[in-house]
Protein backbone atom coordinates (compact mmCIF):
# COMPACT_ATOMS: atom_id res chain seq x y z
CA UNK A 1 0.00 0.00 0.00
CA UNK A 2 1.44 3.33 -1.06
CA UNK A 3 2.21 5.82 1.68
CA UNK A 4 0.65 9.20 1.21
CA UNK A 5 3.11 12.05 1.21
CA UNK A 6 2.08 14.89 3.46
CA UNK A 7 1.84 18.03 1.29
CA UNK A 8 4.36 20.71 2.11
CA UNK A 9 2.93 23.90 3.45
CA UNK A 10 3.60 27.06 1.49
CA UNK A 11 6.30 29.58 2.28
CA UNK A 12 5.56 33.26 2.63
CA UNK A 13 7.69 36.37 2.28
CA UNK A 14 7.79 39.19 4.81
CA UNK A 15 5.60 41.22 2.46
CA UNK A 16 3.07 38.36 2.35
CA UNK A 17 2.90 38.24 6.13
CA UNK A 18 2.56 42.00 6.45
CA UNK A 19 -0.23 42.12 3.88
CA UNK A 20 -2.04 39.20 5.53
CA UNK A 21 -1.70 40.77 8.98
CA UNK A 22 -3.07 44.11 7.80
CA UNK A 23 -5.99 42.35 6.12
CA UNK A 24 -6.69 40.32 9.26
CA UNK A 25 -6.69 43.39 11.50
CA UNK A 26 -9.06 45.30 9.24
CA UNK A 27 -11.39 42.33 8.73
CA UNK A 28 -11.59 41.27 12.39
CA UNK A 29 -10.98 44.70 13.95
CA UNK A 30 -8.40 43.19 16.29
CA UNK A 31 -4.97 41.65 16.04
CA UNK A 32 -4.64 37.83 15.83
CA UNK A 33 -4.78 36.07 19.20
CA UNK A 34 -1.75 33.88 18.50
CA UNK A 35 0.93 33.26 15.91
CA UNK A 36 -0.15 29.62 15.79
CA UNK A 37 -3.76 30.42 14.85
CA UNK A 38 -2.68 33.13 12.41
CA UNK A 39 -0.35 30.73 10.59
CA UNK A 40 -2.91 27.93 10.61
CA UNK A 41 -5.44 30.19 8.91
CA UNK A 42 -2.80 31.10 6.33
CA UNK A 43 -1.81 27.49 5.75
CA UNK A 44 1.83 27.96 6.75
CA UNK A 45 4.04 26.47 9.43
CA UNK A 46 4.43 28.54 12.58
CA UNK A 47 8.19 28.11 12.26
CA UNK A 48 8.07 29.89 8.89
CA UNK A 49 6.62 32.97 10.57
CA UNK A 50 9.47 33.01 13.06
CA UNK A 51 11.97 32.86 10.23
CA UNK A 52 10.69 36.31 9.28
CA UNK A 53 9.56 37.93 12.54
CA UNK A 54 10.14 37.35 16.22
CA UNK A 55 6.61 38.37 17.19
CA UNK A 56 3.55 40.27 16.04
CA UNK A 57 5.14 43.41 17.48
CA UNK A 58 8.14 42.89 15.23
CA UNK A 59 5.82 42.48 12.27
CA UNK A 60 3.93 45.67 13.15
CA UNK A 61 7.18 47.60 13.42
CA UNK A 62 8.32 46.21 10.08
CA UNK A 63 5.13 47.44 8.36
CA UNK A 64 6.07 51.04 9.16
CA UNK A 65 9.64 50.44 8.03
CA UNK A 66 8.23 48.96 4.84
CA UNK A 67 6.25 52.15 4.24
CA UNK A 68 9.48 54.12 4.70
CA UNK A 69 11.51 51.97 2.31
CA UNK A 70 8.77 52.15 -0.31
CA UNK A 71 8.90 55.95 -0.16
CA UNK A 72 12.70 55.95 -0.21
CA UNK A 73 12.86 53.57 -3.17
CA UNK A 74 10.40 55.68 -5.15
CA UNK A 75 12.55 58.75 -4.50
CA UNK A 76 15.82 57.03 -5.36
CA UNK A 77 14.36 55.73 -8.61
CA UNK A 78 13.93 59.31 -9.79
CA UNK A 79 17.26 60.77 -10.93
CA UNK A 80 15.83 64.28 -10.87
CA UNK A 81 15.01 64.00 -7.16
CA UNK A 82 18.60 63.03 -6.43
CA UNK A 83 19.67 66.45 -7.72
CA UNK A 84 17.34 68.32 -5.37
CA UNK A 85 18.51 70.47 -2.49
CA UNK A 86 17.91 69.12 1.03
CA UNK A 87 14.73 71.12 1.50
CA UNK A 88 13.19 69.72 -1.70
CA UNK A 89 14.29 66.18 -0.80
CA UNK A 90 12.56 66.45 2.57
CA UNK A 91 9.41 67.79 0.94
CA UNK A 92 9.44 65.00 -1.63
CA UNK A 93 9.92 62.37 1.05
CA UNK A 94 7.02 63.58 3.19
CA UNK A 95 4.69 63.96 0.20
CA UNK A 96 5.58 60.43 -0.96
CA UNK A 97 5.38 58.88 2.50
CA UNK A 98 1.96 60.33 3.23
CA UNK A 99 0.69 59.16 -0.15
CA UNK A 100 1.67 55.65 0.94
CA UNK A 101 -0.04 56.13 4.30
CA UNK A 102 -3.17 57.34 2.52
CA UNK A 103 -3.19 54.18 0.40
CA UNK A 104 -3.20 52.23 3.69
CA UNK A 105 -5.23 54.71 5.73
CA UNK A 106 -7.74 52.28 7.25
CA UNK A 107 -4.98 50.15 8.75
CA UNK A 108 -2.88 53.11 9.88
CA UNK A 109 -5.82 54.84 11.59
CA UNK A 110 -6.78 51.61 13.34
CA UNK A 111 -3.34 50.88 14.80
CA UNK A 112 -2.76 54.51 15.80
CA UNK A 113 -6.03 54.52 17.75
CA UNK A 114 -5.84 50.94 19.04
CA UNK A 115 -4.94 51.86 22.63
CA UNK A 116 -6.02 54.76 24.80
CA UNK A 117 -2.38 55.20 25.78
CA UNK A 118 -0.84 57.16 22.91
CA UNK A 119 2.67 55.93 23.76
CA UNK A 120 1.58 52.31 23.26
CA UNK A 121 0.32 53.20 19.81
CA UNK A 122 3.54 55.00 18.94
CA UNK A 123 5.78 52.16 20.15
CA UNK A 124 5.41 50.47 16.75
CA UNK A 125 7.24 53.42 15.15
CA UNK A 126 10.65 52.63 16.68
CA UNK A 127 12.18 51.38 13.44
CA UNK A 128 10.58 54.17 11.43
CA UNK A 129 12.03 56.72 13.87
CA UNK A 130 15.56 55.42 13.23
CA UNK A 131 15.03 55.57 9.47
CA UNK A 132 13.63 59.10 9.42
CA UNK A 133 16.34 60.39 11.75
CA UNK A 134 19.03 58.76 9.60
CA UNK A 135 17.53 60.31 6.47
CA UNK A 136 17.46 63.74 8.11
CA UNK A 137 21.06 63.38 9.26
CA UNK A 138 22.14 62.61 5.71
CA UNK A 139 20.39 65.74 4.45
CA UNK A 140 21.97 68.07 6.99
CA UNK A 141 25.38 66.43 6.46
CA UNK A 142 25.11 67.26 2.75
CA UNK A 143 24.30 70.87 3.59
CA UNK A 144 27.14 71.10 6.10
CA UNK A 145 29.64 69.83 3.52
CA UNK A 146 28.84 72.86 1.40
CA UNK A 147 29.50 75.34 4.22
CA UNK A 148 33.03 76.67 4.54
CA UNK A 149 32.87 77.72 8.19
CA UNK A 150 32.11 75.41 11.10
CA UNK A 151 29.98 78.00 12.91
CA UNK A 152 27.56 77.96 9.97
CA UNK A 153 27.07 74.20 10.18
CA UNK A 154 24.00 72.73 11.87
CA UNK A 155 23.87 69.88 14.36
CA UNK A 156 22.90 66.61 12.67
CA UNK A 157 21.54 65.26 15.96
CA UNK A 158 19.30 68.25 16.66
CA UNK A 159 18.09 68.40 13.06
CA UNK A 160 17.22 64.69 13.04
CA UNK A 161 15.28 65.01 16.31
CA UNK A 162 13.47 68.00 14.86
CA UNK A 163 12.58 66.02 11.74
CA UNK A 164 11.10 63.23 13.87
CA UNK A 165 9.01 65.66 15.93
CA UNK A 166 7.88 67.28 12.70
CA UNK A 167 6.82 63.88 11.37
CA UNK A 168 4.75 63.14 14.48
CA UNK A 169 3.07 66.52 14.13
CA UNK A 170 2.25 65.80 10.47
CA UNK A 171 1.07 62.28 11.28
CA UNK A 172 -1.44 63.63 13.80
CA UNK A 173 -2.49 66.35 11.35
CA UNK A 174 -3.02 63.81 8.56
CA UNK A 175 -4.93 61.45 10.86
CA UNK A 176 -7.38 64.23 11.75
CA UNK A 177 -7.54 65.77 8.27
CA UNK A 178 -11.06 65.71 6.81
CA UNK A 179 -10.31 67.74 3.67
CA UNK A 180 -10.91 66.22 0.19
CA UNK A 181 -7.81 64.37 -0.96
CA UNK A 182 -6.17 65.41 2.32
CA UNK A 183 -5.18 68.63 0.61
CA UNK A 184 -4.72 70.38 3.97
CA UNK A 185 -2.06 67.83 4.86
CA UNK A 186 -0.18 68.74 1.68
CA UNK A 187 -0.27 72.39 2.74
CA UNK A 188 0.86 71.47 6.26
CA UNK A 189 3.79 69.46 4.86
CA UNK A 190 4.96 72.31 2.66
CA UNK A 191 4.59 74.97 5.35
CA UNK A 192 6.19 72.90 8.11
CA UNK A 193 9.19 71.78 6.05
CA UNK A 194 9.85 75.30 4.81
CA UNK A 195 9.47 76.66 8.33
CA UNK A 196 11.88 74.13 9.81
CA UNK A 197 14.54 74.86 7.21
CA UNK A 198 14.05 78.60 7.58
CA UNK A 199 14.30 78.34 11.35
CA UNK A 200 17.46 76.26 11.09
CA UNK A 201 19.02 78.91 8.90
CA UNK A 202 18.17 81.79 11.21
CA UNK A 203 17.50 80.59 14.76
CA UNK A 204 19.75 79.15 17.50
CA UNK A 205 19.54 75.35 17.56
CA UNK A 206 18.02 75.01 21.02
CA UNK A 207 15.05 77.11 19.89
CA UNK A 208 14.50 74.78 16.93
CA UNK A 209 13.98 71.82 19.22
CA UNK A 210 11.63 73.79 21.49
CA UNK A 211 9.70 74.96 18.44
CA UNK A 212 9.22 71.39 17.25
CA UNK A 213 8.02 70.20 20.64
CA UNK A 214 5.62 73.13 20.83
CA UNK A 215 4.04 72.32 17.47
CA UNK A 216 3.65 68.68 18.38
CA UNK A 217 2.11 69.33 21.80
CA UNK A 218 -0.28 71.91 20.38
CA UNK A 219 -1.53 69.53 17.71
CA UNK A 220 -1.74 66.49 19.98
CA UNK A 221 -3.72 68.49 22.51
CA UNK A 222 -6.57 69.26 20.13
Secondary structure tally for the chain: helices H, strands E: 12, 0
Is there a single domain that holds both residue 70 and residue 105? yes
5 is a domain residue: no
Residues 47, 73 within the same domain = no
CA angle 215, 217, 219 (to 5 degrees): 70
Which among 195, 89, 91, 96 has a CA at the least distance from the CA of 143? 89
Q: Is 209 found in the same domain as 125?
A: yes
Q: 88 in a domain, yes or no?
A: yes
Q: Does 83 lie in the same domain as 44?
A: no
Q: Are residues 133 and 206 in the same domain?
A: yes
User: In this structure, are 40 and 73 located in the same domain?
Assistant: no
- Domain membership of residue 27 as a residue range: 14-52
Statement to judge: residues 93 and 180 lie in one domain:
yes
pLDDT at 209 (0 to 100): 61
Could you tell me if 95 and 132 lie in one domain? Answer: yes
Does the residue 188 lie in any domain?
yes
Same domain (yes/no): 213, 124: yes
**Do residues 31 and 99 both lie within one domain?**
no
The reported pTM is 0.82
Examine the domain organization and report whether 43 and 71 are in the same domain.
Answer: no
Distance CA 135, CA 93 (A): 10
133 domain residue, yes or no: yes
Q: Do 56 and 35 touch, CB atoms closer than 8 A?
A: yes
* Ordered per-residue pLDDT tens for the chain, 222 residues: 444 445 556 789 999 999 999 999 999 999 999 999 999 999 999 999 999 999 999 999 999 999 999 999 999 999 898 889 888 999 999 999 999 999 999 999 999 998 888 888 899 999 999 999 999 988 887 765 555 434 345 566 777 888 899 999 999 999 999 999 999 999 999 988 888 777 666 654 555 566 556 556 655 555
69 and 44 housed in the same domain: no
Distance CA 87, CA 83 (A): 11
For residue 120, being part of any structural domain is answered with yes
Does residue 9 form part of some domain?
no
- Asked if the structure places residue 114 within a domain, the reply is yes
Q: How many separate domains does the chain show?
A: 2
SS3 13: coil
Amino acid sequence: MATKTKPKKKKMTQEDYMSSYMDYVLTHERKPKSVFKFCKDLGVEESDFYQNFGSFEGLRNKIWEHFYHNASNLMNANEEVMQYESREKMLTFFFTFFEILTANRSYVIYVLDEHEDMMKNLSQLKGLRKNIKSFAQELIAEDNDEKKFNFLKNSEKVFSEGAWIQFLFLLKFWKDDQSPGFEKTDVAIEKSVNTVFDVFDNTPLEKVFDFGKFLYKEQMGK
